[in-house]
Chains A and B, each alone.
Chain A
């Protein structure tokens, strides 16, 4: 019998990704419904603080696979270890945050184990004791619900979809396989921009600049607003293609998919390809000087006005609110 709902713990520099806690919280509910156990799988180098933070989120068991070779993510290293663990313990499901490395790992493990993978999921439910996942498709114009005929079902979960809910437990720790097998990808260099801002796909608030921002120097206005709200800054393809922002900031069909609580679109017209990347935002707020702009057809709230006037006022207003709260 297969047992356990597993959640892959993506971590870096001693910090666990937010999407892991969100996924654990939702998986806890599902595990309770089907009376199964919730397990976290931690690959790499662990320590007490990582284990401590996992125990805050309702985990019954933690599988630890430690090995110095696994300190940095490699496709093969993590695929080998994860696949071996699954063969050994036969879980019912493996849930992974839909991040760059999460997606990478999920596809390799799924093919090695000849099983199904549902990506970028925004819902999990139990129907006839089967796990059924909801995923947005066709640029958010439709959703499909799907299950998997084989075990384990593998699914990647869209960040910012589920609320992280604390639920203290005392997880059992299982130290386990650490044979990393043959690793064919050699990481010869890594560059990370140091930023105080959250990662675009994880941010609770995203402030995006479109062609209306008129030049790279004006992104400063958006950064100031984002910083008051602890948010990240995004860009439309028009402003990326103009060279005002790097591609890593692009939101949309050929950019990132974001799902923040609040999405502030500044000088963005609201093309369908842009919408594809932000349609699951909880609240969309638009600033555009053209009352006919498409963005107002999809925004919850909007201001018709010049962003160069409105954005600084907005920053001030939120600053005032923060100071008084």
Chain B
């Protein structure tokens, strides 16, 4: 089974945010981690590979030097890593997905896995858009997947419960927490990841003209959130503290009807 995993790096949540001279989020010197949902996707890809004697290729659209997530995936056990380097063009989710779909359309694949959301500017759409562009079905937010006879049965979250969806392969699935516990890279894996070259693909090689990947979304401005101010902490004997707190809460918001 040929398995493709879409993975990207995100800001570490602990990272302090600032704006650059152009008023955009400043990525300089920020620690990056593999998007946690993509770790679930890599892990699931590896499990399917182990069961089906398959092959896992991890793909990212990012800056050439930002290869840590890809190398982490190799260290975990992925076979190939591909970095698509867009260069200077401004990408939005439409553009990113269109590029990914183009790269994948030139490959063999039975199953594509991604995260349901990137935790930084998380928009929950790139993987689904890739499915649409490739004209294959998507099942989002899965917590379980079984593959048999060219079909997959995936359990996905819905509000207040879950449902089981069956689709024919190839298809795209996005990982929700609960799908699995990602493994730690082995020593051997880490060594391999150091040596294994990442395949670099430049936009020009893909045969996409600029028009096809022109961003649809236009950011107008970025603002850093005002940190929430510490409020009033009540230190009193419990009964008194509670009645005072309830009074204060009800002065601020209406919750008891």
Chain A residues in the interface with B (C-beta under 8 A): 75-76, 79, 99-101, 103-104, 106-108, 110-112, 114-120, 127, 132, 136-150, 184-193, 195, 199, 201, 204-205, 229-230, 247-248, 250, 253-255, 261-262, 272-273, 276, 279, 282-285, 291, 296-306, 309-310, 313-314, 317-318, 321-322, 325
Contacts and interface: CB of A to CB of B under 8 A. Distances in A.
B228 A298 contact: yes
Interface string B139-156: 111010000000001000
Given A141-B17, A141-B225, A301 B158 contact: no
Contact of A111 (B13, B17, B132, B167): B132
Given A75-B138, A114-B94, A299 B224 contact: no
B219 A111 contact: no
A180 B221 CA distance: 39
A299 B161 CA distance: 31
Contacts of B160: 192-193, 195, 199, 248
Q: Is the interface of A mostly helix, strand, loop or mixed?
A: mixed
A191 B245 contact: no
Given A75-B137, A261-B253, A188 B159 contact: no
A314 B246 contact: yes
A303 B221 CA distance: 38
Contacts of A117: 93-94, 123, 125, 217
Nearest to A186: B166
A193 B161 contact: yes
Contacts of B166: 185-186, 188
B209 interface: no
A190 B133 contact: no
Contacts of A310: 238, 241-242
B128 interface: yes
A-B CB proximity, top 4 nearest:
A116-B216, A107-B128, A192-B161, A107-B125
B107 interface: no
A148 B225 contact: no
Nearest to A12: B159
A300 B164 contact: no
Interface in B163-189: 163-168, 171, 176-178
Contacts of B119: 139, 253-254, 276
A15 B253 CA distance: 27
B65 interface: no
Contacts of B177: 247, 250, 254-255
Nearest to B11: A138
A261 B13 contact: no
Contacts of B132: 79, 107-108, 111-112
Contacts of A139: 13, 119-120
A132 B137 CA distance: 31
A296 B233 contact: yes
Nearest to B24: A144
Nearest to A230: B257
Interface string B210-240: 0000011111111111001011111100110
B94 to A, nearest CB: 6
B232 A189 contact: no
A299 B231 contact: yes
Contacts of B53: none
A187 B216 contact: no
B105 interface: no
B168 A184 contact: yes
Given A184-B168, A205-B255, A298-B230, A137 B122 contact: yes
A107 B125 CA distance: 5
Residue of B241, B250, B252 contacting most chain A CB atoms (<10 Å): B241
Interface of B: 11, 13-14, 17, 25, 36-37, 92-94, 97, 119-125, 128-129, 131-133, 137-141, 143, 153, 157-168, 171, 176-178, 215-225, 228, 230-235, 238-239, 241-243, 245-246, 248-250, 252-257
Residue of B153, B171, B255 contacting most chain A CB atoms (<10 Å): B255
Nearest to B121: A137
A142 B168 CA distance: 40
A188 B162 CA distance: 11
B17 A142 contact: yes
B164 A190 contact: yes
B216 A148 contact: yes
B128 A111 contact: yes
Contacts of B120: 137-139
B252 A300 contact: yes
Given A127-B220, A261-B253, A101 B158 contact: yes
B115 to A, nearest CB: 10
Contact of B220 (A147, A299, A309, A313): A147
Contacts of A262: 249, 253, 255
B235 to A, nearest CB: 5
Contacts of B97: 111
A100 B224 contact: no
Contact of B242 (A188, A248, A313): A313
A299 B230 contact: yes
A321 B247 CA distance: 10
A100 B141 contact: yes
23 contacts: A75-B139, A101-B158, A111-B97, A116-B93, A117-B123, A118-B123, A138-B11, A145-B221, A147-B217, A184-B168, A186-B165, A191-B162, A201-B159, A204-B255, A253-B36, A272-B14, A279-B228, A283-B252, A285-B249, A299-B230, A299-B231, A301-B231, A303-B242
